[in-house]
Amino acid sequence: MIHSRAATILLSTVLACASASAATLNFESLSSGNTGSPSASLPEALISGTGTILYTNEYFVGQGGSVCSAFTTPDSTSCTGDLEITFTTAVNQLSLRAIGVDGGDSVTILAYAGSLLLGSQVVAAPQDAEPDPQQEVVVDFSAFSGVTKLSFEDQSTGSGLAYGKFSFTPTSPVPEPATGLLTLLGVAALGQFARRRQAA
């Protein structure tokens, strides 16, 4: 009876240690402001836009930053380009924030698993809304599993939105060395308990 409890406790501990932890997209690793390119690669995802550049904003500093697909002129930058984020591995529990709401801003965000459309959400502001660069809108796709791509279809007539605070769990995380060691020790301990039980 004691061995059975010990095995259950050990197995629970090993499984808890092996579970995936939340990940984020860190746009702060890109150059600040004008990245000089309409696409960028992060360890977790490839980001590409239809704008002339990707633009990293000052929003969410210290929390991964934010990004938008921007069109630039000598006088202005508007975040009204379409954006696509393709994850290097499928993700679960996905959420993000849209920020910088301005009158006339509107974007449809679509979540895909391969070519299968899982769902979509619209972020829109009334045409006469006052600009609020600090207003955040939560976009929650946590009900969907295996998201491989997000597509941002922008229909804004305002200055457009930036996106940040991406949070997700990879579906097949790379185990940390300590997790692998704990798993190996747990399996060895279970084998030892089974041998003792057969001997008794």
58-73 pLDDT, tens digit per residue, is 777 677 888 989 887 7
Average pLDDT value for residue range 39-49? 93
Average pLDDT over residues 3-26: 58
Please report, for the domain that includes residue 150, its CATH number.
2.60.120
Q: Give me the residue label for tokens 């599993």.
A: 145
Average pLDDT estimate for 92-108: 91
pLDDT at position 4: 54
Looking at per-residue pLDDT, the higher value among 14 and 38 belongs to: 38
| Number of independent structural domains in the chain | 2
Find out whether 64 and 42 touch, Cβ atoms under 8 Å. no
Do 14 and 99 share a domain, yes or no? no
Joined tokens for residue 167: 């949070």
Range of the domain at 11: 1-21+174-200
The verdict on 158 and 63 lying in the same domain is yes
| Residues 92 and 120 occupy one common structural domain | yes
Domain co-membership, 180 together with 163: no
Write down the pLDDT at residue 10. 46
User: Other CB atoms closer than 10 Å to residue 99's CB: what's the count?
Assistant: 23
Q: Do 78 and 100 share a structural domain?
A: yes
Task: Summarize pLDDT for 124-167 with one digit per residue, the tens.
Answer: 987 777 777 778 899 999 999 999 999 999 998 888 889 999 99
| Domain identity same for 125 and 37 | yes
Asked whether the predicted pLDDT for residue 77 surpasses 70, the reply is: yes
DSSP string, 134-170: EEEEEEEETT-SSEEEEEEEE--SSSB-EEEEEEEEE
Please state, rounded to an integer, the average pLDDT across all residues of the chain: 82
Smallest Cα–Cα separation from 111: which of 122, 125, 98?
A: 122
pLDDT on residue 182: 67
Residues 132 and 189 grouped into a single domain: no
**CA gap 128, 44 in Å, rounded:** 37
pLDDT at 179: 62
52 & 132 share domain: yes
Higher pLDDT: 67 or 189? It is 67
Is the CA virtual torsion 70, 72, 78, 82 positive or negative?
Answer: negative
Higher pLDDT, 31 or 16: 31
Residue with more model confidence, 115 or 172: 115
* Separation of alpha carbons 73 and 52, rounded Å: 10
Task: Please tell me whether residues 67 and 5 are part of one structural domain.
Answer: no
Do 83 and 178 fall into the same domain? no
H or E stretch covering 197: helix 177-199
pLDDT at 55: 87
Q: 137 and 40 in one domain?
A: yes
pLDDT at 15 over 50: no
Confidence band for 195, pLDDT divided at 50, 70 and 90: confident
